[in-house]
Amino acid sequence: MSNAPLALITGAGRGIGRAVAEALAPDHVLLLAGRDRNVLDRTRAELTTPHGAHVLAVDLGDPASRASFLSEVTGLEDQLGARVQVLVNNAGAALSAPLARTGDDAWARLLELNCTAPFVLTRALVPGMLAAGWGRVVNVASTAAIKGYAYTAAYSASKAGLLGWTRALAVELASKDVTVNAVCPGFTDTDIVADAARNIQATTGRSEDEARKALARFSPQGRLRSPAEVADLVVWLARRGAGGVTGQALAIDGGETA
């Protein structure tokens, strides 16, 4: 049985979540969570996981699925004789739509997945971190949590809410060696950006490549972030040595929010 700490990553099958899993694998037992078990199984097979990795399928936007998932996590913790000490709340969804076409269902869905679900997971797992004597919660937010983009009111609200409770909980836990931080990537080369580029293509007639370049130009560096560079920041925050950093919204955007 490995003595490495347990790290739970949501949305671990693709993009930033997969990159985080790969970066944490050398020093952690991985709990890989996401909606598609086949994708998670493939990710686990492709990663080098010296301390082991476990796959848990969940729809984090569904409260019943979340409850079942948390029971499964508790069972795994009991089986492994350890508690989750690193939680990376990465799973999320985006929506681009003008105000008039942002319906109540879309608003509720984004708040549920991007803000409520990570809060519920954090609330459930922080007691184990406190019992273990240290823990790290890293929430993957967005530059949309700290600046405005047109056509993203629901998405921005959900990520701003995530950032709000990140800061509040960080203060609450500050004396316990449990840190709570948010990373705020700019446009990153993931499925979400691919979807955004296709949406721009459909509405403007520009090519997908032109649309991707338009998104990249939001950054003064003129490029998209890579999932790996976002993962590097997440992993640094997960280290014991980062214990003095808590309640922060760390933008990784090539200077966009400077």
What span, in angstroms and rounded, lies between the C-alpha atoms of 65 and 68?
A: 5
pLDDT at 1 over 70: no
- The per-residue pLDDT for range 158-195, each reduced to its tens digit, is 999 999 999 999 999 999 999 999 999 999 988 887 77
Is this model's pTM higher than 0.85 or not? yes
Determine whether 155 is an active site residue. yes
pLDDT for residue 203 is more than 90: no
Angle between helices 117-132 and 153-172 (to 10 degrees): 20
Hey, is 249 helix, strand or coil?
Answer: strand
Residue 217 lies in a domain: yes
pLDDT at 137 (0 to 100): 99
Return d(Cα 199, Cα 219) in angstroms, integer.
Answer: 20
Whether residue 248 has pLDDT greater than 90: yes
Q: Does residue 199 register a pLDDT over 80?
A: no
Q: What is the mean pLDDT of residues 74-103?
A: 96
Q: What is the mean predicted confidence (pLDDT) over 38-47?
A: 97
CB atoms within 10 A of CB 249: 21
Give me the pLDDT at residue 82, please. Answer: 97
Mean pLDDT of 11-40: 98
Q: Does residue 257 belong to any structural domain of this protein?
A: no
CATH of the domain at 205: 3.40.50.720
Check whether 62 has a pLDDT greater than 80: yes
Percent share of the chain, pLDDT over 70: 100
State how many domains the chain has: 1
Averaged confidence pLDDT in the chain: 95
Q: Which helix (H) or strand (E) holds 40?
A: helix 37-46
Per-residue model confidence (pLDDT) at position 214: 86
Percent of all residues in the chain with a pLDDT value above 90, rounded to a whole number: 88
| DSSP labels, 186-242 | -SBSSHHHHHHHHHHHHHH---HHHHHHHHHTTSTT-SPBPHHHHHHHHHHHHSGGG
* pLDDT over 70 at 216, yes or no: yes
Within a domain: 69: yes
What pLDDT digit, counting tens, does each position of 101-156 carry?
999 999 999 999 999 999 999 999 999 999 999 999 999 999 999 999 999 999 99
pLDDT at residue 258 in the model: 95
Flag whether 205 is in a domain.
Answer: yes
Q: Please compute the mean of the pLDDT values over residues 191-218 and round it to a whole number.
A: 83
Residue 1 within any structural domain of the chain: no
- Which one of 69, 155, 187, 218 is the catalytic residue? 155
Q: Does residue 176 lie within any of the structural domains? A: yes
Strand residue runs (E) in the chain: 6-10, 29-34, 53-57, 84-89, 135-140, 178-185, 249-252
Is residue 41 within 8 A of residue 63, CB to CB? The reply is no
SS3 state at 57: strand
**Vertex 54: Cα angle to 12 and 45 (nearest 5):** 70
Structural domain of 226: 6-252
